[in-house]
Amino acid sequence: MTLLTRRQTLSALSAFTVTGLAAPSLLRAEAPLTFYGPPAAPSAVLAHAVKGGFLNEVAPGAIFKAWKTPDEMRAAVASGSMGAVVMPSYGAANLHNRGLGIGFLNVLTTGLLYIVSKDETLTTLESLKGKTVALPFKNDMPDIVLARLIAEQGIKPGEIALEYAASLPQAVQLLLTGRVDAALLSEPAATAVLIKAKSFFMTVHRTIDVQKEWAKVSGKAEIPQAGLALTSEFQQKLGKAGIAALQTGIETALASAIANPQTAADAAADTLGFPADIIAASFPTSHLSALKASAARADLEAFYDELAKANPAIIDGKKPDDSFYLV
């Protein structure tokens, strides 16, 4: 057996170190980056970006996972166990302002909220007076947006009864079983309930487009609702060039998803918990985008201002500074 001298050992270690530093992609491959998103349509674009190889330049071997509830997501981001997460845009601003080092990469949807009902006459917020509406995730995006709309309409608290659900499937179940009159859902859950109802010989209607109601309040036709946020640690791993490459990859993945919705939906079905055909069918009503955060800044700030009218704490009392906008 040949024994290495001390000089030979040091030389070998030195060569290994230089080789490792010269091949960052190999180092990343040993610990692939993980991206997280909600069970909603924007995550289909991110899942497609990951599984379709659109992020190979910056994140070879990347993984996509779905988070189940906003509380789970926020706790994981705060603890550092989730570093790249699709989340509500106001949530990213709040975490940034609280000093958690969150930066916003892009807006992945400009609105995907709809009120659905078996009663096709419930086409206005006023018509919901005396009715019960199911909402997933109390004190989160659907709830906050609806509260702002109701207040602007002059509808008093309690005139519309709210039945909070712990998840999107639970809100759907409340509607289909007749325990509520309507439900406020995001895509693809809104499309799913329209399709699923038919198998029970029911008809569910998309009665209120929340984006159109928001336009009446804010003067803005779109809601910069959610996008990809990165923790400071994740930003450091990628570096400025990597962050730019990540954005480019997502933009390319979005174009591919729009051109080939079934392929993108296939990539997301297992993790999002919706059949691929339903995810694909939801794309036209999901207002998908990959708009750079800096390009969306004016719309984001207008959205934050509108939400803060009801409760400034939603964004921790102020609009985020320049460092929030990563590209």
The predicted-structure confidence for 171-207, as pLDDT tens digits, reads as follows 999 999 999 999 999 999 999 999 999 999 999 999 9
Answer whether residue 27 shows pLDDT above 90. no
Q: Which residue is it, tokens 């030389």? A: 11
Give yes or no: residues 286 and 272 share one domain. yes
Contact by Cβ (8 Å): 280, 61: no
Phi, psi (deg, nearest 5) at residue 76: -70, -40
Domain with residue 43: its CATH number is 3.40.190.10
Phi, psi (deg, nearest 5) at residue 115: -95, 125
Phi, psi (deg, nearest 5) at residue 38: -80, 170
Give yes or no: residues 214 and 120 share one domain. yes
What percent of the chain is predicted at pLDDT more than 90?
Answer: 90
What is the token pair recorded at 255? 């174009």
Give yes or no: residues 98 and 239 share one domain. yes
Any idea which of 26-30, 80-84, 202-206 has the lowest mean pLDDT? Answer: 26-30
Give yes or no: residues 231 and 165 share one domain. no
Answer whether residue 143 shows pLDDT above 50. yes
Give yes or no: residues 142 and 202 share one domain. yes
Domain that holds residue 298: 32-111+223-324
Q: Based on the structure, what is the number of domains in the chain?
A: 2
User: What integer pLDDT is reported at residue 2 of this predicted model?
Assistant: 37
Average pLDDT over residues 289-314: 96
Phi, psi (deg, nearest 5) at residue 60: -60, 135
Residue 31's pLDDT band (boundaries 50, 70, 90)?
A: confident
User: What integer pLDDT is reported at residue 59 of this predicted model?
Assistant: 97
User: What integer pLDDT is reported at residue 49 of this predicted model?
Assistant: 98
* 27 domain-assigned: no
* 207 domain-assigned: yes
Dmax over CA atoms of the chain, in Å, equals: 87
Give yes or no: residues 273 and 143 share one domain. no
Give yes or no: residues 177 and 88 share one domain. no
Contact by Cβ (8 Å): 115, 193: no
* 13 domain-assigned: no
Average pLDDT over residues 247-264: 98
Answer whether residue 87 shows pLDDT above 80. yes
* 235 domain-assigned: yes
User: What integer pLDDT is reported at residue 7 of this predicted model?
Assistant: 40
Handedness of CA 273, 275, 280, 283 (dihedral sign): negative
Give start and end residues of each alpha helix (H) in 183-231: 189-199, 210-218
Average pLDDT over residues 235-255: 98
Average pLDDT over residues 9-30: 37
Give yes or no: residues 93 and 242 share one domain. yes
* 105 domain-assigned: yes
Answer whether residue 268 shows pLDDT above 50. yes
What is the token pair recorded at 153? 């309409």
Please, what is the average pLDDT of the chain?
Answer: 91
Phi, psi (deg, nearest 5) at residue 117: -160, 155
End position of a domain, from candidates 218, 250, 266: 218
Answer whether residue 326 shows pLDDT above 70. yes
Give yes or no: residues 236 and 270 share one domain. yes
Answer whether residue 14 shows pLDDT above 60. no
Give yes or no: residues 99 and 139 share one domain. no
With vertex at residue 92, the alpha carbon angle to CA 144 and CA 289, rounded to the nearest 5 degrees, is: 85
Entry pTM: 0.90
Using CA atoms, how far apart are residues 268 and 186, in angstroms rounded to an integer? Answer: 16
Give yes or no: residues 203 and 184 share one domain. yes
Give yes or no: residues 130 and 260 share one domain. no
User: What integer pLDDT is reported at residue 188 of this predicted model?
Assistant: 97
Neighbours of 138 (CB within 10 A): 14
End position of a domain, from candidates 171, 190, 218: 218
